[in-house]
Amino acid sequence: MSDPMMPLPTLEVDPASIVPPAVLLANHLKALKLPTFVREYEKVAFEAAKDRADYPRYLLRLCELERIDRERRMVERRIRMARFPHTKSFDTFDFAAQPSLNKALVHGLMEARERVPLAQPAKASGFGEAADPRRAGLCALHRCGRRSAVRGAQPALRTRQHADHQQSALR
């Protein structure tokens, strides 16, 4: 009968053949398809140690970075797969092909659009010029006497306002 407390045999291991944990971790993360973890885990670990963050917060930071990177790559991949034609701008637009367009007015509207912030908080009231940037632009056209441009844009504005109203009613 053998002794249940019999010691295990010791193995002679050459220290040069031991793979460092960092290399093993990088290989495992690559196999799990977590490239952002591979790139960022040391930097995030240093920041977490500096901030005295616990382990779940460290993992949370890494996961957030991985998710942001995946979403960015997904958008880039979808844009590539869509095979959009080359980027167009108003600098290359041929106003001679559409003589009814007023070049100065279009450039003025584009400059005004660049001055308006892209993300504006939604207004609760929905009334007044400041409630809708499209209405603010129409009011500005009205004030400077561009009545034909205002009449042409009003049906589109009413359609958009109707769609906005229906969507807010569904919420």
Write out pLDDT tens, residues 83-112: 887 777 777 788 888 888 888 888 888 888
Please tell me the distance from the alpha carbon of residue 21 to that of residue 24, in angstroms, as a whole number.
5
pLDDT score of 10 more than 90: no
Mean pLDDT of the chain: 76
pTM here is 0.42
Does some domain include residue 11?
A: no
Residues whose CB falls within 8 Å of the CB of residue 66, separated by 6 or more in sequence, listed in order: 34, 36, 37
Does some domain include residue 12?
A: no
Number of structural domains (the chain) is 2
Per the structure, the complete domain to which residue 153 belongs is given by 95-117+127-170
What's the whole-number mean pLDDT along residues 63-86? 91
- Give the pLDDT confidence score for residue 22 in this predicted structure: 86
Please tell me the distance from the alpha carbon of residue 61 to that of residue 110, in angstroms, as a whole number.
39
Does some domain include residue 6?
A: no
Does some domain include residue 148?
A: yes
pLDDT band at 60 (very low <50, low <70, confident <90, very high): very high
**Same domain? 63 vs 37:** yes
- Give the pLDDT confidence score for residue 150 in this predicted structure: 45
**Same domain? 75 vs 28:** yes
